[in-house]
Amino acid sequence: MADGNAPNAPAKKAAYKRRWRNFLLDRRYQLKYTLVMVVIAGVLTAGLGAGILRQTARVEQASAEVAAKAQEASRIVNVQALGDPDDPSVKEMKKAFDAQDAELQRSADLMKRQGKFVPYALGAFFLLLTLFLGAYGIVMTHRVAGPLFKISNYLKRITDGRLGVVYDLRKGDELVDFFAVFKQMHGALKGRLEHDVEMLHKAIESLEALAARLPADQSADAQRLIATLKNEEAEKRQQLE
């Protein structure tokens, strides 16, 4: 006879393979939790993106101002060069300012192009972050929703009078301690039912032995009682399957 307080022995079952179509066991809970994660990430990304865009605009403005000042200085040098075009120092200064002006203009143009790229980069980053958090949220909530879904199905079976076998959780599932308590409760219920079936079987055997010694009129009543008890025993044995 099984001990009524002992949990079920570990049941062996074929290895469970997670499939994407089975990840949304509790759509309302899982999608709600995932949406909260995505919204929080979106707010943080928007704040970070706004700061980056403001800083980029400031850098662009500063770069344009430097380029404009360099062009102004270059124009001054060009005016001086017109006054004395044969002066070597003026020619050298003009050449240096022209090179510096061209370099600053290239830097300003580069900053402008990079500034236009920043919003697209932020958008791509947010999209990738949303996809990652969405997948991560569904996977993580599945590890909670899975055990709850499993326990819910077992409770429905118990309500229908079918105890059966409780299989272990999948590798990586959460709520391990909670499921262990549930499994212990299921084992206790099954142990008590097995005890009841054993006691009922012994009672039937005793009645059958007694009916064999009774007169025919009393034996018929005893046989009807035995038949009723056997039906009840059969029903309880079905609950154990």
pLDDT of residue 3: 44
Residues 175, 240 within the same domain: yes
Q: Which of 131, 160, 189 is the last residue of a domain?
A: 160
Q: Of the given ranges (5-19, 94-108, 192-206, 224-238), which has the lowest mean pLDDT? A: 5-19
Instruction: Establish if 4 belongs to a structural domain.
Output: no
pLDDT of residue 11: 47
Residues 121, 214 within the same domain: no
Distances (CA, A) of 177 to 6, 122, 203, 205: 16, 42, 39, 42
Nearby residues of 6 by Cβ (< 8 Å), 6 or more positions away: 187, 188, 191
The total number of structural domains that make up the chain:
2
Question: Residues 194, 8: contact at Cβ < 8 Å?
Answer: no
Residues 222, 165 within the same domain: yes
* Tokens encoding 180: 């262990």
Residues 114, 183 within the same domain: no
pLDDT at 213 over 70: yes
pLDDT of residue 7: 44
Residues 154, 185 within the same domain: no
Mean pLDDT in residue range 134-148 = 84
Instruction: Establish if 28 belongs to a structural domain.
Output: yes
Residues 176, 135 within the same domain: no
Instruction: Establish if 202 belongs to a structural domain.
Output: yes
147 vs 83, residue with greater confidence: 147
Q: What is the pLDDT of residues 148-158, one digit of tens each?
A: 888 888 888 88
CA 71 to chain centre: 57
Residues 37, 107 within the same domain: yes
pLDDT of residue 2: 40
Instruction: Establish if 17 belongs to a structural domain.
Output: no
Host domain of residue 208: 161-241
Bin 11: left if φ > 0, else alpha if -120 < ψ < 50, else beta: beta
Distances (CA, A) of 51 to 30, 47, 182: 32, 6, 51
Q: Which of 160, 186, 220 is the last residue of a domain?
A: 160
Residues 168, 145 within the same domain: no
Residues 139, 173 within the same domain: no
pLDDT of residue 90: 57
Instruction: Establish if 10 belongs to a structural domain.
Output: no
Residues 138, 89 within the same domain: yes
pLDDT of residue 97: 63
Instruction: Establish if 9 belongs to a structural domain.
Output: no
Instruction: Establish if 188 belongs to a structural domain.
Output: yes
pTM for the model: 0.55
Question: Residues 122, 42: contact at Cβ < 8 Å?
Answer: no
pLDDT of residue 72: 65
Instruction: Establish if 185 belongs to a structural domain.
Output: yes
Residues 38, 150 within the same domain: yes
Question: Residues 25, 153: contact at Cβ < 8 Å?
Answer: no
Residues 87, 154 within the same domain: yes
Q: Which of 160, 188, 219 is the last residue of a domain?
A: 160
